[in-house]
Amino acid sequence: MNLESSPAEPRFRPLPLPGLRRERALGRDFLLVEPELLAALAETAFAEVQHFFRASHLAQLRAILDDPEASTGDRFVAMELLKNAVVASGGLFPSCQDTGTATVYGWKGERVLVEGDPVAALEAGIARCWASRNLRSSHLAPLSMYEERDTGTNLPAQIKLYAGNGDRLRLLFLAKGGGSANKTFLFQETKRLLDPDRLLAFLEEKIRTLGTAACPPYHLAIVVGGLSAEQCLETVKLASARALDDLPATGDATGRVFRDRECERRLLERTRQIGIGAQLLGKYLCHDVRVIRLPRHAGSLPVGLGVSCSADRQIEAFVTPDGVFLEELERDPARFLPDRAVDLAEAVSIDLDRPMAAIRADLARLAVGTPVRLTGTLIVARDQVFAALARRRAAGEPLPAYLRHHPIYHAGPARAPEGFPAGSFGPTTAARMDPYMPDFQAEGAALVTVAKGNRSALVVESCKKNGGFYLAGIGGAAAVTAKDCIRSVEVIDFPEFGMEAVHRIRVDGFPAFLVIDDKGHDLYGRSGPG
């Protein structure tokens, strides 16, 4: 990151925040920053990224709609994500129910002095943001090696500050959700990989394993090299946020970091031939690819891979002698919508307020990939609930009736805005519940599940053996789902789990598509593993 660069109009706007002054000492001019300025800046920045996107990201979604080579599924997902951005921009519903880990990177010039503890100041602003808005606390504090409790504040945050030259402070704020963070990988390779064809083949193989669980289309980042594993992976995160886009295009004998734009071009083309697409098969698994090359130790070649998902949340800020400047995000995402709506096809209506046998009979008549609209009762349960029920089952207790009589929606909602039954309430990653499915389905529980992303062969086999089905919602459309589809919400079990409690919800026209059926068919089976 270049501390000497300045915020350029119109990308940055001034913030009228008090707490900045100049002082002269030891023959030099210093910039003094009060803690409350940093707190207010962090609070504002994280509020912005929960509701607004960069215009460049929205333009890439619109480009999918305008591409004649995009599949119907690609266009439908892009349309839903643009609609979601419009709803989120209203300031009530965050764009994703997983409002993320608050992460801050800072680059501070030596002539910038922060009064007090800058990390504490940033965390104070983060805590205020999460407490005052319709966000979700997702952080679990370990009480012991095995016991955890929600902190209730979404703290602690991940904050890293670097020292540099100059009289300005540059900050990058990211809200990183668990789903996209889980798609960060490190591979310890050798010199043998540094061959053009071998490297591209290796990377394509790893890209295929990303699947759809983290809500594509992705901004994909790949880093080859690094003096340590942690340097490699930190560079992955920064590259996925497009924070390293101004790197040079070539290396040199000093170990200069650079972007390989030809490798980026070739890899992007390969992602568009894989077939996974933007969740429903097609061309747009990725919006773009960044490939960064780092120096390395002769005996080590780390390779890192990661994504920024459809909840593409990052914003930059500067504190300079001229004031405080915050990156300007797009305030009018509706301008990217097409004149005509995009739909998959005539969706099949499924009434969920019937016996499970009737619901399964309807689904058994459909081919995988068929779009559906769900209306009626869903039971919301995910990681903590499934783990607790598995322990009860191991102790000889029966699984609860609600797990047998209703479809199960894997989700964890954000706080509900006043006057609405639900906050942002999109699906969570289905694969995290895969290990429980064979035992649960063998007892007639969780025979119909709704979540996001692809699932393992374990679930395909269990559904075939036990007559189960898996339907995927559109990942990344949590705001529009809550506003348009959810009619009521009540907690019915495990209230101590917070957002992971068991909820009973009523939905109206909830969009999903059949991914796994009771015959062993898997929509993603022909698109590679995930």
pLDDT tens figures, 280-331: 999 999 999 999 999 999 999 999 999 999 999 999 999 999 999 999 999 9
Half-sphere exposure of 244 (CA within 13 A, CB side): 27
Distances (CA, A) of 136 to 163, 382, 414: 32, 15, 4
- Report the percent of the chain where pLDDT is more than 70: 97
Q: Please check whether residue 486 is in contact with residue 495, taking contact to mean a CB–CB distance below 8 angstroms.
A: no
Q: For residue 529, what are its two tokens?
A: 């593993």
pLDDT-derived band at 6 (thresholds 50, 70, 90) equals: low
Q: Which residues contact 338 (CB under 8 A, 6 or more apart)?
A: 62, 65, 66, 79
pTM: 0.92
- Report the percent of the chain where pLDDT is more than 90: 94
Residue 216: which of 241, 187, 183, 257 has the closest Cα? 183
**CATH architecture of the domain with range 348-527:** Alpha-Beta Barrel (3.20)
Could you count the other beta carbons within 10 Å of the beta carbon of residue 521? 16
Report CA Rg, the chain.
Answer: 24
Express each pLDDT in 13-65 by its tens digit.
999 999 999 999 988 999 999 999 999 999 999 999 999 999 999 999 999 99
Alpha-carbon span 411 to 502, nearest angstrom: 10
Alpha-carbon span 530 to 513, nearest angstrom: 18
List 13's β-bridge partners, or say none. Answer: 326
Q: For residue 157, what is the DSSP state?
A: P
For the chain, the domains span 1-52+89-177+312-327, 178-310, 348-527
* Pairing of the two strands 258-259 and 323-327: unpaired
Q: Please check whether residue 165 is in contact with residue 109, taking contact to mean a CB–CB distance below 8 angstroms.
A: yes
